[in-house]
């Protein structure tokens, strides 16, 4: 009990420290750094939602970009001013019922998640009859279908021109609040009895079914929840960048999220959080690789894509040396930290003794 109280106090202090760091960064860092910081939060939401499928339910899905697109467009169209809409839709006028609609941001954000969840529900029924790589191909196909539909529904989405001037609602506190909510949601979900059935389906579908778990329903639920958070993540992305177009939501985007999930650890919430921050920061920090470089003897004229080469090498190294990602399927916990520190101390002492 005493230990428990101690850990609660430690968690509270940790949380406060995190809030303080966020507030300080928000106040004193330049706009570019704040933007990267906030992008990490959005990637936390996205990585968690993909991890729920890939890591916890054992469904290999590559359709995330599609659900993000749905969320991004719904939220953007529901919050843009009528004037902005008229300006955007200069080729084909927008459908009349969308012209004047303008909702408060939280409502629009929730509706964006709900819309993505609904699309996820529609896709789940046929796609979840498949498994493994077949499921991956099918979800990838569905994501492309969504993208092509968006490109061609000119009067609804403004097609390939995309949307510009989306209100910039995704402030530091909004995105980090959403990230915190996503973490809390997933922790609560996975700790619950329903969460155990999700993991049971991943471990052994046949046994789960025999233990009275409605495997198909569990999979569909998990898919819908994942789509919901993907929609939220997509909407936040739109409200941060303030422009969206269909070309943003290709497989490349899904791949980035998958990279985070695998790097952080398939089946670890902690891993996804750290993975999202590390990958987002590295993506920017390594940007100099794409620029012209002067390494005394070798001069390059800028090799666009060198960044991704380095990234792939990092990914390979991780997969070679830590097959299950940085965290494996472990989670952050105070007893775990204590054990780790104890181990570290013993190692240092034994080295010092020699």
User: Closest CB to other proteins among 164 and 330?
Assistant: 330
Q: Helices 269-285 and 251-264 meet at what angle, rounded to 10?
A: 120
Site for other proteins (CB under 8 A): which residue of 83, 206, 298, 320?
206
Site for other proteins (CB under 8 A): which residue of 197, 254, 270, 272?
197
Judged by CB under 8 A, the stretch of 115-123, 128-136, 193-201, 300-308 that binds other proteins is 193-201
213 binds other proteins (CB under 8 A): yes
Which phi and psi angles does 274 have, rounded to 5°? -65, -45
Q: Identify whether the C-beta of residue 318 lies closer than 8 Å to the C-beta of residue 326.
A: yes
DSSP label of 167? -
Q: How far is the CB of 288 from other proteins (least distance, A)?
A: 41
Structure-derived torsion over alpha carbons of residues 150, 88, 227, 11, reported in degrees to the nearest 10: 160
180 binds other proteins (CB under 8 A): no
Judged by CB under 8 A, the stretch of 29-37, 162-170, 205-213, 248-256 that binds other proteins is 205-213
Question: Of 240-279, which residues contact other proteins (CB under 8 A)?
Answer: 267
DSSP label of 129? T
Site for other proteins (CB under 8 A): which residue of 8, 21, 134, 204?
204
Q: How far is the CB of 229 from other proteins (least distance, A)?
A: 13
Judged by CB under 8 A, the stretch of 46-54, 195-203, 234-242, 294-302 that binds other proteins is 195-203
312 binds other proteins (CB under 8 A): no
Question: Of 7-36, which residues contact other proteins (CB under 8 A)?
Answer: none
Contact mark string toward other proteins, 125..144, x via CB under 8 A: --------------------
In 3D space, the residue among 228, 215, 45 whose CA is nearest the CA of residue 119 turns out to be: 228
User: Closest CB to other proteins among 188 and 316?
Assistant: 188
Q: Helices 251-264 and 31-51 meet at what angle, rounded to 10?
A: 80
Q: How far is the CB of 75 from other proteins (least distance, A)?
A: 23
Reduced to 3 states (helix: H, G, I; strand: E, B; else coil), residue 171 is: coil
Q: Identify whether the C-beta of residue 143 lies closer than 8 Å to the C-beta of residue 62.
A: yes
What are the b/e assignments for 214-239, b being 16+ CB within 10 Å? ebeebbbbbbbbbbbbbbbbbbbbbb
333 binds other proteins (CB under 8 A): no
Cα gap 90→158, rounded to integer Å: 9
Residue 163's DSSP bridge partners are: 244
- Going along 276-353, which residue ranges are E strands? 293-295, 298-300
152 binds other proteins (CB under 8 A): no
Q: How far is the CB of 264 from other proteins (least distance, A)?
A: 17
Site for other proteins (CB under 8 A): which residue of 86, 214, 243, 312?
214
Judged by CB under 8 A, the stretch of 129-137, 194-202, 256-264, 296-304 that binds other proteins is 194-202
User: Closest CB to other proteins among 209 and 290?
Assistant: 209
Q: How far is the CB of 222 from other proteins (least distance, A)?
A: 11
Q: Residue 350: CA atoms inside 13 Å, Cβ hemisphere, count?
A: 6
| Cβ neighbours for 83, distance < 8 A, ≥ 6 positions apart | none
Count of residues interacting with other proteins (CB under 8 A): 27
Helices (H), 153-268: 154-157, 172-191, 193-203, 205-210, 215-241, 251-264
209 binds other proteins (CB under 8 A): yes
Cα gap 348→239, rounded to integer Å: 48
3 binds other proteins (CB under 8 A): no
Q: How far is the CB of 186 from other proteins (least distance, A)?
A: 9
Binding residues for other proteins (CB under 8 A): 185, 188-189, 192-197, 199-200, 202-204, 206-215, 221, 267, 329
């Amino acid at each position: 009990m005493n230990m428990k109280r101690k850990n609660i106090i430690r968690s509270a202090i940790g949380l406060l420290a995190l809030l303080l760091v966020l507030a300080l960064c928000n106040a004193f860092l330049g706009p570019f750094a704040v933007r990267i910081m906030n992008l990490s939060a959005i990637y936390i939401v996205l990585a968690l939602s993909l991890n729920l499928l890939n890591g916890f339910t054992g469904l290999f899905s590559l359709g995330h970009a599609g659900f993000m697109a749905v969320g991004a467009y719904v939220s953007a169209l529901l919050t843009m001013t009528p004037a902005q809409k008229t300006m955007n839709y200069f080729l084909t006028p927008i459908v009349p019922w969308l012209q004047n609609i303008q909702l408060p941001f939280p409502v629009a954000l929730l509706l964006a998640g709900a819309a993505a969840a609904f699309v996820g529900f529609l896709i789940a029924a046929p796609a979840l009859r498949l498994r493994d790589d077949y499921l991956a191909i099918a979800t990838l196909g569905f994501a492309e279908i969504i993208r092509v539909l968006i490109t061609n529904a000119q009067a609804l989405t403004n097609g390939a021109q995309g949307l510009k001037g989306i209100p910039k609602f995704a402030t530091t506190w909004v995105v980090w609040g959403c990230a915190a909510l996503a973490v809390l949601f997933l922790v609560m979900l996975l700790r619950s009895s329903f969460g155990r059935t999700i993991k049971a389906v991943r471990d052994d579908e046949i046994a789960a079914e025999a233990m009275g778990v409605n495997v198909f329903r569990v999979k569909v639920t998990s898919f819908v929840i994942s789509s919901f958070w993907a929609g939220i993540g997509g909407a936040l992305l739109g409200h941060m960048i303030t422009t969206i177009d269909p070309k943003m939501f290709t497989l490349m985007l899904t791949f980035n999220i998958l990279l985070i999930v695998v790097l952080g650890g398939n089946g670890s919430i902690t891993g996804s959080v750290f993975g999202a921050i590390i990958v987002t920061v590295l993506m920017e920090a390594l940007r100099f690789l794409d620029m012209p470089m002067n390494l005394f003897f070798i001069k390059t004229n800028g090799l666009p894509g060198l960044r991704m080469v380095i990234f792939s090498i990092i990914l390979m190294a991780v997969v070679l040396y830590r097959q299950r990602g940085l965290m494996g399927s472990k989670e952050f916990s105070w007893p775990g930290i204590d054990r780790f520190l104890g181990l570290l101390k013993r190692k240092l002492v034994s080295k010092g003794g020699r």
